Structure 1
Amino acid sequence: MLEANSRVIQSNQDGLHENLDAIVKKHLAQPFNKPFHDATLAAFYELRERVQQLGKPVIFDSCCGVGESSANLALRHPEALVVGMDKSAYRLNKHDDNYDKGADNLVLLRVDLNDLWRLAVADGWQLSHHYLLYPNPWPKSSHIKRRWHGAPVFPYLLMLGGKLEMRSNWPIYLQEFARALEIAGIDSQFAQLEFDGTDLTPFERKYRLSEQPLYQLTADLRGVELPWRSELVLPEPKG
């Protein structure tokens, strides 16, 4: 378990990145055509079959880490299928022993979100909710393109729709995301997070116990479209 000794984030940025607007506008103007990884393509088609069979609303818990947040969200949203996703098998493998809460509406997947988000958009998915609770903001100025709002997959995050909720202990990360949403014509709400008695993630617990403030950004992404969405084609499964 994480100990309450987290450091305050240090950055050479004291405000929004100077190139943020140009980066976001570039990505909004065109699709992201990077080839798909076979493993994520296969995982998507397995998930797609389950989603079609259940017929429930779908909630993404992206960058779920060990999946504690996913388990909490599955209990919070019994009407939906919660899909927790992370790129790290090491983190996901910790889930059963420490965070399994018995929810039967939860799926955990090891995937590349740069691929899975694009596949879901190409297939016309519209989420009920989308949670991005992992706080790693890549605080160096040179890492702007590694933050979700600076990455070429950002438009796909928007087109997945749903009620978006993000949390972080670095306010600039969320303020930049809010600006990226504004460029896309989307309103958002940014505020310090008030503790409601439940830590959704181990990181929230760690930061709270270290007496660091946490911040939250919410937005309604339902119905977001971009002109080039009609060009997207879902690739066939392999094998």
Structure 2
Amino acid sequence: MAESRIPQTSQPGPHRRLEETVLRHLRHDWQSPIHDHSRLAFAELADSIDAGTPLVLDSGCGTGASTAGLARLHRDSLVVGIDKSEDRLRRAAALPDNARLVRAELADFWRLAVEAGWRPAHHYLLYPNPWPKPGHLKRRWHAHPVFPALLALGGRLELRSNFELYIDEFARALALAGVLDVKVVSFRADEPISPFERKYANSGHRLFQLTATLE
């Protein structure tokens, strides 16, 4: 059986500053500069795809194993895997024809996609993104300044993780943003989408899934 840990946190529940942090980000546009490499990668991708093709995003795709699986699941869509690590992307295996991998910062890519008017049909966040220490709240995507851009992309959002608190906080952040169609379930990963999911399932961890429709 694989040896992997469930993230440990000293938080007894959702962070005490979650609500004020999320609401502050929802009220103010984030003005942080976009990295040049992200801008170039996005422009090259935008120039190479058909604007009429349904789009699926695999954010934080790692080595692209999840991107390949999602491309087989969404055969009529273009599945774009985004990761900031050149090393991880370099280790990607061959992809289906309807998949692409892009090296970019997620916070950059999401804002560029919103500016370009992209509206993915599906958006997957399969990396667990725990940042379990209370001082790391703003590194969790739901409490990050880029959260409004994530919402603005729309589509069907899906998160998976073995860290229940992360999923619970994300659901609360969506509620603060007025997103009504949110579902959270625990599940068995009989057919894992990502390497993380496979590792945690093999370790006997309880896995959690959040889905939401972003209007």
Say whether the fold is shared (TM-score over 0.5).
yes
Q: Is the 2:6–2:205 contact (alpha carbons within 8 Å) kept by the matching residues of 1?
A: yes
How many residues matched? 214
| Structure 1 residues without counterparts, runs of 5 or longer | 224-239
1:55 shift after superposition? 2.3
Unaligned 5+ residue runs, structure 2? none
Structure 1 residue 65 and structure 2 residue 48: aligned? no
1:60-106 deviations in Å (ceiling 9; x for gaps)? 0000111111000000001110000111111111112xxx3x51000
Distance 1:213 1:67 in 2: 24
Distance in 1 separating the partners of 2:6 and 2:72:
31
**What letter is aligned with 1:217?**
L
**C-alpha distance in 1 between matches for 2:176 and 2:92:** 37
User: Contact conserved, 2:7 with 2:130, CA < 8 A, in 1?
Assistant: no
Q: Identify the match of residue 74 of structure 2 among 72, 77, 83.
A: 77
CA deviations 1:191-216 (Å, max 9, x no partner) are: 10233x31111111111111011100
Deviation at 1:54, TM superposition (A): 5.7
Name the counterpart of 1:40.
Answer: 38
Q: Which secondary structure does the structure 2 equivalent of 1:189 belong to?
A: strand
Q: Distance in 2 between matches of 1:8 and 1:130?
A: 24
Tell me the secondary structure at the aligned position of residue 95 of structure 1: coil
Deviation, 1:36, is 1.2
| Structure-1 residue corresponding to 2:186 | 192
Q: 1:149-228 maps to which residues of 2 (within 5 A)?
A: 149-187=142-180, 188-195=182-189, 197-221=190-214, 223=215
Percentage identity across aligned positions?
A: 50
Preserved contact between residue 81 and residue 99 of structure 2 (Cα < 8 Å): yes
Give RMSD over aligned pairs: 1.2
**TM-score, with length taken from structure 2:** 0.96
CA distance in 2 between counterparts of 1:136 and 1:114 reads 14
1:128 equivalenced with 2:121 (yes/no): yes
Which has the greater radius of gyration? 1
Task: Write out the 4+ residue segments of structure 1 that deviate beyond 3 Å after TM superposition.
Answer: none
